[in-house]
Chains A and B, each alone.
Chain A
Amino acid sequence: MKRFWVLFFMFWPLLALYVCWVAPAYDWWFPGAAASPLGQRIDDLFYLILIITTVVFIGTQAALGYVLWTGAQRSDEGSEERAWFSHGSHNLEVIWTIVPAGVLLFIALYQMDVWAEYRIKTSFPEEVRNDPIAEVTARQFEWRIRYPGVDAEGNPLPLMPDPQPTDLYTVNDLHVPSGRPVMINLRTDDVQHSFFLPELRVKQDAVPGLVIPVWFEATKSGEYALLCAELCGWGHYKMKARLVAESETSWQTWLQELKAEQEFDGVVETSEEE
């Protein structure tokens, strides 16, 4: 029975490793490769940590298995061997404090750039730093998007903090140009929400009373999921929206169409609601 338990404790880490190994093949893994440059760096960091932690995981579980197996032998019927009377080892303590400390410090320092680039405004890409492309306002339970619109010649206007008559609106449908960084201003009308683009690895809470700039870049044109990641009430799960990344020209055409549509019936709300 003792041997059974040792094997039992060794079996599950192996199973865990196996499951992680096959997980990508079953799609139990990231929703596709990161669709943004920053997302790729996040994934790289994830894999780096995954390698380090896997080594530690295997090492510690194997050590556990070893001490269990030998410890089981010592208590076998007929074995006279007593436990090793030891209160520890100063050298080992020093080693297993310093080495992990070094590894952890490395992890801590290594990631700072990515974070700075993502969140610290002075490290945002120059071209978007002061030029939000839209204002995204979360509310129970939808996303409202306000674009600054275009002037008579079709040139994009700057986004103003307050709504303007020229603004264009959509609900649950965020269109941005792909292949270049864009920035949105994130707000909420009511409780807290969180702006989550899983494929782009972007997440930012929308906090009542704050306007938070968020930048991202969709490398490829396409449609991506946009959902809410902070509990906002019973309908939290259904704050389903999409991010449409498209080429610069088709994005501009889309804006023109939106403008035309909006001016046609003269109502501020557009009709893309579900």
Chain B
Amino acid sequence: MSTITPTADSLAGHGDHAHGHHDIGFIRKYVFSTDHKIIGIQFLFTTLLMLMFGGFLALGVRWQLAFPWETMPIFGQFFAAQGGQVSPEFYTMLFTMHATVMIFLVIIPVLAGAFGNFLIPLMIGADDMAFPVLNMLSYWFMWPAIMCFGASFFLNEGFGPNAGPAAGWTSYPLLSALVEAAPGSGTAQFWWLMGVTLVGVSSMMGSVNYMTTIINMRAPGMTLFRMPLTIWAMFITAILQAFALPVLTAAGFMLMADRLLGTCFFIPAGIVVNNAAPTVGGGQPLLWQHLFWFYSHPAVYIMLLPAMGMVSDMLACMSRKPIFGYKPMVYSLAAIAGLGFIVWGHHMFTSGMNPALGMTFMVSTIMIALPSAVKVFNWIGTMWGGRLVFNTVMLNSVGFVSMFIVGGLSGIFMAAVPVDIYIHDTYFIVAHFHYVLFGATLFGVFAGITFWFPKMFGRMMNEPIGQLHFLLTFIGFNGTFFPMHLLGIAGMPRRYADPYLHPYLEHLLPMNQFMTISAILMGFAQFLLLGNLAYSIFFGPKCGRNPWEANGLEWVAPSPPGHGNFETVPVCYRGPYEYSAPGRDEDFWLQTEPPGPRPETPGQAAAASS
């Protein structure tokens, strides 16, 4: 089933080790590193940085919705030309770039890039990824992407810096295809497309690596059904990525060709925008929507499945209990991924595509709620009868489950096509995806950071600060996003710079102000996380190999693991969830502990007790 991993030196024979045990120097070790752990940590810090930045953009959006056309305090001076106000052009740019940053530079790379990189080799007992150099490149391709997105803010000839790309993260043509369509549709949109293409390259490199590594480099005894759910989720995500992403990349190139070469894949004939010459045509804007969502629906699962896997592992550990229904958990992950490929049309119910097609998309979409429900039941089952530890990890994981329930249930409203006619493109949609992407994924990420931080840095994070961070974030989150359901039901469209222009929405202003204040609170709470991270890296209490008394292979390695991860090739004897097995003194049972009457090898004893 599994192969014995080659030794570290034969794998990473790219010059790093040419000098035997010489120090490889700071740059090669921490900057252009091929070590999966360093790359994972690089991804983590980069995405946290981007999270802060994306958060600022969101606060700009919220400012305008709460205090429309009022001068923004403090930050207003950055766009003093407009009197510090959020102009409508600027507003469209803000939400476009907020979503772009959050999706392409935060959620996707933090799950696959940071946790995938750090955890895959450690949890399957490998010494590194299959292709370490490719891995390094996948990180370094993020930076050109970030540059392109950054450039799109400024390089917009004739329109100045406050009119970046403004076609939404979905970039529907013709807004995104015709240079004259909007201030942000010019050069800015071009750089946006370049950015998306480059993050795609980065993701693709990662996903090839993850698949190969998981298939080929598992430690002896690590059979497929002994893999932690995190690994299953990463594996399935990598497959999703590999099949869906090329479609987006192709669509991106087609759109670029439309813009630069006049190919008209997406542009019908005779369209006149802003008095430009009529288009030559022959294309169909709906084609973009199909291609875009063929990637982007699976992508929403790319933004969730790894967190689902991680939360499963953390819940089991903090409940001191085996996963409830391990195999159903694996199958439901696979079912979500499989169904995920045939539901993209649910983003297009009102788009004018064949309505009969809408009906089939409706059925498949409603069915995808089923594996999601099975997962929720199994998480609750996992905690059921457990001996729960209420620490930061657990709180964030429970937050994940609790919030995911809301996101999954609101999905059913939207999957019901007739109801979606009404709520499509209203704030109800915004509520739905924030509950799944922030409420679920991001809380999962916070839990994951706290859980694996000791393995990354050999020190624990501060527990009271962690709990306070969770408390404030959770309150702020629900204060910000729960009312969005109501705004949506009240018919408030998304992407409106000034909804109050419409009399039937006027009375929603106070509620929007409440939401903005919650969002600001939540924003401030993130400094607790950053402070906690910064402090704990240097001053947190040192921890041993296995501070949580967990079972996975990663807890056998030193904290932090050295180059090559394990001192000896770990051998895996059981699944990762044998917590509280009867007849044992400890309530955990390392995957590497040989079965039978317990003649422990010295290494094992050290691993278990330190």
Tell me, rounded to whole Å, the shortest Cβ–Cβ distance linking B270 to chain A: 8
Chain A residue with the shortest CB-CB distance to B283: A209
Interchain CB contact under 8 A, A29 and B490: yes
B13 at the interface (CB under 8 A from A): no
| A208-B285 contact in complex given A49-B419, A104-B366, C-beta closer than 8 Å | yes
Residue with the highest number of chain B CB atoms closer than 10 Å, among A42, A81, A212, A228: A42
The one of A42, A71, A238 that contacts B383, using a Cβ cutoff of 8 Å: A71
A128 at the interface (CB under 8 A from B): no
Chain A 224-237 per-residue mask, 1 if CB under 8 angstroms from chain B, else 0: 01011111111111
| A192-B285 contact in complex given A210-B352, A227-B502, C-beta closer than 8 Å | yes
Stretch at the interface among B294-302, B408-416, B554-562: B408-416
| Chain A contacts for B474, CB-based, 8 A | 8, 12
Chain A 66-97 per-residue mask, 1 if CB under 8 angstroms from chain B, else 0: 01101110110001011111111100110011
Stretch at the interface among B207-215, B239-247, B253-261, B314-322: B314-322
Interchain CB contact under 8 A, A70 and B385: yes
| A85-B580 contact in complex given A46-B413, A190-B271, A192-B172, C-beta closer than 8 Å | yes
Chain B 335-353 per-residue mask, 1 if CB under 8 angstroms from chain A, else 0: 0000000000000001110
Chain B 471-512 per-residue mask, 1 if CB under 8 angstroms from chain A, else 0: 100100010001101110111010111110111100110010
Docked complex: A31-48 residues within 8 A CB-CB of B: 31, 39, 41-42, 45-46
A268 at the interface (CB under 8 A from B): no
Docked complex: A106-131 residues within 8 A CB-CB of B: 107-108, 111-112, 114-116, 118-120
Interchain CB contact under 8 A, A240 and B325: no
| Chain A contacts for B390, CB-based, 8 A | 1-2, 5, 72, 75
| Chain B contacts for A144, CB-based, 8 A | none
Q: How many residues of A contact B (CB 8 A)?
A: 99
| Chain B contacts for A52, CB-based, 8 A | 412
Tell me, rounded to whole Å, the shortest Cβ–Cβ distance linking B56 to chain A: 21
| A92-B381 contact in complex given A82-B320, A190-B272, A225-B504, C-beta closer than 8 Å | yes
The one of B175, B399, B413, B421 that contacts A201, using a Cβ cutoff of 8 Å: B421
Interchain CB contact under 8 A, B381 and A88: yes
Interchain CB contact under 8 A, B579 and A83: yes
Stretch at the interface among A54-62, A164-172, A250-258, A259-267: A54-62
Interchain CB contact under 8 A, B421 and A28: no
Please, how many angstroms separate the alpha-carbon atoms of A227 and B168 in the complex?
18
Tell me, rounded to whole Å, the shortest Cβ–Cβ distance linking A76 to chain B: 9
| A31-B491 contact in complex given A88-B324, A88-B326, A233-B92, C-beta closer than 8 Å | yes
| A84-B268 contact in complex given A56-B409, A119-B358, A205-B352, C-beta closer than 8 Å | no
Residue with the highest number of chain B CB atoms closer than 10 Å, among A28, A89, A203, A231: A231
Please, how many angstroms separate the alpha-carbon atoms of A12 and B482 in the complex?
10
The one of B89, B181, B381, B416 that contacts A45, using a Cβ cutoff of 8 Å: B416
Please, how many angstroms separate the alpha-carbon atoms of A84 and B587 in the complex?
11
Docked complex: B416-469 residues within 8 A CB-CB of A: 416-419, 421-422, 424-426
B362 at the interface (CB under 8 A from A): yes
Tell me, rounded to whole Å, the shortest Cβ–Cβ distance linking A54 to chain B: 9
Interchain CB contact under 8 A, B350 and A205: yes
Please, how many angstroms separate the alpha-carbon atoms of A88 and B327 in the complex?
10
| A203-B350 contact in complex given A111-B362, A111-B416, C-beta closer than 8 Å | yes
Chain B residue with the shortest CB-CB distance to A120: B355
Tell me, rounded to whole Å, the shortest Cβ–Cβ distance linking A198 to chain B: 4
| Chain B contacts for A84, CB-based, 8 A | 321, 384-386, 580
B216 at the interface (CB under 8 A from A): no
| Chain B contacts for A93, CB-based, 8 A | 325, 328, 374, 378
Interface size class, chain B: 35 or more
B59 at the interface (CB under 8 A from A): no
A178 at the interface (CB under 8 A from B): no
A53 at the interface (CB under 8 A from B): yes
B520 at the interface (CB under 8 A from A): no
Interchain CB contact under 8 A, A68 and B388: yes
| Chain B contacts for A13, CB-based, 8 A | 402
The one of A31, A86, A104, A233 that contacts B490, using a Cβ cutoff of 8 Å: A31
A19 at the interface (CB under 8 A from B): yes
Chain B residue with the shortest CB-CB distance to A190: B273
B45 at the interface (CB under 8 A from A): no
| Chain B contacts for A82, CB-based, 8 A | 320, 387, 580, 587
Interface residues of B, Cβ cutoff 8 Å to A: 87-89, 91-92, 166-168, 172-175, 178, 181-183, 267-269, 271-274, 281, 283-286, 319-326, 328, 350-352, 355-356, 358-359, 362-363, 366-367, 369-370, 373-374, 376-378, 380-381, 383-390, 395, 398-399, 401-402, 405-406, 409-410, 412-413, 416-419, 421-422, 424-426, 471, 474, 478, 482-483, 485-487, 489-491, 493, 495-499, 501-504, 507-508, 511, 577, 579-582, 587
Additional 5 contacts, C-beta under 8 A, given A30-B490, A30-B491, A63-B380: A19-B483, A60-B405, A115-B358, A231-B92, A234-B183
* A-B pairs with beta carbons under 8 Å apart, 25 shown: A2-B390, A16-B406, A27-B507, A28-B490, A39-B422, A46-B416, A49-B419, A71-B387, A75-B389, A87-B322, A87-B324, A89-B381, A92-B325, A93-B378, A97-B374, A120-B355, A189-B272, A190-B271, A192-B172, A192-B173, A201-B421, A204-B350, A205-B350, A234-B87, A237-B493
The 4 A-B residue pairs whose C-beta atoms are closest, nearest first, are A209-B268, A84-B385, A71-B388, A198-B491
Interface residues of A, Cβ cutoff 8 Å to B: 1-2, 5, 8-9, 12-13, 16, 19-20, 23, 27-31, 39, 41-42, 45-46, 49-50, 52-53, 56-57, 60-61, 63-64, 67-68, 70-72, 74-75, 79, 81-89, 92-93, 96-97, 100-101, 104-105, 107-108, 111-112, 114-116, 118-120, 140, 189-192, 194, 196, 198-199, 201-205, 207-210, 212, 225, 227-238, 240
